[in-house]
């Protein structure tokens, strides 16, 4: 039962969140949620289970991606299978023909991938346990045409295989991890149960660890020029971030919004950039600063509404209030937020 203090805190969170959204409305572009009016209306009626099931859809996506990368199988085919049944239409995972796990050549990258696969699988199991009989089934997931479409639309290439090598795997992971962080942050103000909010905050922290690790690893490989000339991989991240922001925010940010620019990108999304030089302790010497943190001027990570997240993972307009289908979820998501 909510106490006066927790109710006041919830009110503060909701009001602060609404203010942030009102300031950044025009910066939330593209294909993410329904229109702002419908977003506000939908968010006021969402239950904690609705939010957890939305998160479960995203965790199914991440868990399958990482487990396929490391073990070559979907989560329901692991030696200790992870359940994927539930309400809604259960789907399968589309992979390339003659699929094989990533042929990792760098032991540390494989170690990172292995740990992340385990943790994302645990997130699925935890959310399913918390939801019980209300848990949604795993929807249809596409890990072939999705990457090809995003690569083409973002202007990277006509096709892209994140399972080809260490570097491409990290770029594929980059697409997911920042999105997950912004999704959990964006949903926080709508969660009513302190217990549920605490669990969501814990998962957000893990996703942020993953995102920071992926960014750090990409930067290291880029500077080493192991797989491509220096600047190629970080350049991919800047293009991906710009495209994610465009999908989430079709209308460019208005002057005076709390969002920044970095490397020519409009925020709510920042790619990895090493061009900024920083002087240490007031000396004349300056050193390159790497964009490991995907956050605003206050170093607070960006937050996105469920509709914005839907736009990124399905490629649909934020004006579409429900029934988003495409890209990673070709048949749509299961649950109320879809």
pLDDT in tens, 34-80: 333 334 334 458 999 999 999 999 999 999 999 999 999 999 999 99
Tokens of 270: 């920042």
Dihedral, CA atoms, 27, 28, 31, 36, nearest 10 degrees? -120
What is the per-residue pLDDT across 92-120, written as a single tens digit (0 to 9) for each?
Answer: 999 999 999 999 999 999 999 999 999 99
Tokens of 129: 């346990």
Provide the b/e sequence for 43-67 (b: ≥16 CB within 10 Å).
beebebbbbbbbbbbbbbbbbbbbb
| Stretch 184-209: mean pLDDT | 95
150 neighbors 160 (Cβ within 8 angstroms): yes
Whether the per-residue pLDDT at 6 is higher than 70: the answer is no
What is the per-residue pLDDT across 210-265, written as a single tens digit (0 to 9) for each?
Answer: 999 999 999 999 999 999 999 999 999 999 998 898 888 877 655 444 344 444 44
> How confident is the prediction for the chain on average, in pLDDT?
83
**Whole-model pTM?**
0.82
Distance of alpha carbon 18 from alpha carbon 81, whole angstroms: 41
pLDDT confidence of residue 101 = 98
What does the chain come to in residues?
338
The pair phi, psi for residue 43, each rounded to 5°, is -65, -30
pLDDT confidence of residue 15 = 40
Where is pLDDT greater, at 37 or 183?
183
Instruction: Catalogue the long-range contacts made by 261-266 (C-beta closer than 8 Å, 24 or more residues apart).
Output: 262/291, 263/238, 263/291, 264/238, 265/238, 265/241, 266/27, 266/242
Q: How far is CA 162 from CA 55, 169, 253, 254, 323, in A?
A: 23, 4, 31, 35, 27
Four-residue CA torsion sign, 202, 205, 210, 211: positive
């Amino acid at each position: 039962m909510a106490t006066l203090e927790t109710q006041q805190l919830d009110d503060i969170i909701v009001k602060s969140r609404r203010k942030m959204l009102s300031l950044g409305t025009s910066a939330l572009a593209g294909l993410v949620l329904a229109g702002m009016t419908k977003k506000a209306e939908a968010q006021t009626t969402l239950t904690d289970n609705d939010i957890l099931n939305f998160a479960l859809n995203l965790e199914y996506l991440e868990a399958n991606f990482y487990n396929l990368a490391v073990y070559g199988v979907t989560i329901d085919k692991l030696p200790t299978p992870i359940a994927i049944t539930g309400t809604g239409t259960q789907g399968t995972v589309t992979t390339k023909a003659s699929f094989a796990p990533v042929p990792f050549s760098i032991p540390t990258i494989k170690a990172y991938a292995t740990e992340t696969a385990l943790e994302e699988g645990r997130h699925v199991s935890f959310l399913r346990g918390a939801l019980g009989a209300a848990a949604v089934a795993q929807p249809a997931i596409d890990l072939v045409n999705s990457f090809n479409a995003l690569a083409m639309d973002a202007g990277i290439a006509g096709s892209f295989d994140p399972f080809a090598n260490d570097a491409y795997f990290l770029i594929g992971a980059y697409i997911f991890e920042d999105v997950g962080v912004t999704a959990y942050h964006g949903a926080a103000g709508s969660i009513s149960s302190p217990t549920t909010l605490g669990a969501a905050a814990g998962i957000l922290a893990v996703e942020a660890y993953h995102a920071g690790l992926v960014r750090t690893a990409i930067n290291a490989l880029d500077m080493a020029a192991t797989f491509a000339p220096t600047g190629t991989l970080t350049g991919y991240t800047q293009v991906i971030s710009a495209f994610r922001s465009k999908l989430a925010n079709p209308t460019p940010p208005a002057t005076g919004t709390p969002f920044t620019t970095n490397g020519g990108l409009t925020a709510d999304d920042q790619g990895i950039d090493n061009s900024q030089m920083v002087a240490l302790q007031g000396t004349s010497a300056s050193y390159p600063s790497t964009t490991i943190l995907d956050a605003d001027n206050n170093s607070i990570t960006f937050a996105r509404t469920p509709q914005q997240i839907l736009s990124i993972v399905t490629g649909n307009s934020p004006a579409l209030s429900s029934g988003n289908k495409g890209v990673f979820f070709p048949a749509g998501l299961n649950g109320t937020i879809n």
